[in-house]
Amino acid sequence: MSDTHADSPRPTRPAIAWIGLGIMGSPMSENLVKAGYDVTGFTLEQDKLDRLAAAGGTAAGSIAEAVRDADVVITMVPASPQVEAIAYGPDGILENAKSGALLIDMSSITPRTSVDLAKAAKDKGIRVLDAPVSGGEAGAVEAVLSIMVGGEQADFDTAKPIFEALGRTIVLCGPHGSGQTVKAANQLIVAVNIQACAEAVVFLEKSGVDLTAALDVLNGGLAGSTVLTRKKDNFLNRDFKPGFRIDLHHKDMGIVTDAARNVGAALPVGAVVAQLVASLRAQGDGGLDHSALLRAVERLSGARL
């Protein structure tokens, strides 16, 4: 007796183009390769293209080459200007992707940029989701990101298997731009949390308390958080190798304070932390991990760094 299930064709996975292979984009694209997707990538750094090829993906020589035959195009670049640069123009995604393709922008940008991109793409027959993520480099590597999505339900359903290869918490938050709005709130919470942890670290050390023991017990109670779990070793070892750079968090704090002003929401604590992030960046620490907010507290407390 023949097995009808065995004779049924396996569903084909969509071909994916990935634009932007930075700290987050490289491990995320590699996780899609591991999940069995054909991934063609493009970025400006040759070593990042070599890394993708070594992982089993395909390196492209241009955006146009990467997206031409893709069913799904995923972008992960630093900010709104970069999204606009890769999306628009004769060499951009919208002019070179095929009609019917799904464009998933996983960058953290302004909600307005996402809304405008969705409108422009619709004229080209291209569907769009904004799908920024939270979880940092570790979350990207471990494929446990939180993914907040804006767009149409049908497009979200199409993208869900792809998201499941990248993250653990995947939620459609509303129409276009909603994912970016939720991400802005996420960055507000993270920045305030890191700042509070940094202040606690300096307070504890100046009080002569065993810092390792203190952070362990704090993280087991109501003061515990994913931020403290992820950044504890950064604080203990003063290891500020970038998982998420101050430069990028500075950009995100600008997004959330501007968006909050537009809707009439007061962010008194967030505004202060935004200034502290900006101050740290102005002191030359923009390339460090955002846990380097500890350095700013140390300077305010009299340390010479």
Q: What is the pLDDT along the chain (305 residues), one digit of tens a residue?
A: 444 444 444 458 999 999 999 999 999 999 999 999 999 999 999 999 999 999 999 999 999 999 999 999 999 999 999 999 999 999 999 999 999 999 999 999 999 999 999 999 999 999 999 999 999 899 999 999 999 999 999 999 999 999 999 999 999 999 999 999 999 999 999 999 999 999 999 999 999 999 999 999 999 999 999 999 999 999 999 999 998 999 999 999 999 999 999 999 999 999 999 999 999 999 999 999 999 999 999 999 998 88
Q: How many CB atoms lie within 10 A of CB 60?
A: 21
Looking at residue 5, its pLDDT comes to 46
Asked if 188 and 250 count as a contact pair (C-beta separation under 8 A), the reply is no
Asked if 62 and 91 count as a contact pair (C-beta separation under 8 A), the reply is yes
Looking at residue 11, its pLDDT comes to 59
Helices 226-237 and 178-206: crossing angle in degrees, nearest 10, is: 50
In the numeric block, the tokens 């750094």 are attached to: 45
Q: How many residues does the structure list for the chain?
A: 305
CA distance 183 to 189: 10
Helices 46-55 and 25-34: crossing angle in degrees, nearest 10, is: 20
Catalytic residues: 183
CA distance 155 to 236: 43
Q: What is the DSSP letter of 283?
A: I
CA distance 281 to 68: 39
Q: Half-sphere exposure (CA, 13 Å, Cβ side) for 16?
A: 27
User: Going from the N-terminus, what domains does the chain have, and what CATH number goes with each?
Assistant: 12-175 (3.40.50.720), 182-300 (1.10.1040.10)
**Alpha carbon 19 to chain centroid, angstroms:** 13
Looking at residue 304, its pLDDT comes to 83
pTM, rounded to two decimals: 0.90
C-alpha distances in angstroms, 211 versus 43, 205, 227, 244? Answer: 41, 6, 16, 24
Q: Closest Cα to residue 28, out of 49, 61, 52, 47?
A: 52
**Alpha carbon 305 to chain centroid, angstroms:** 30
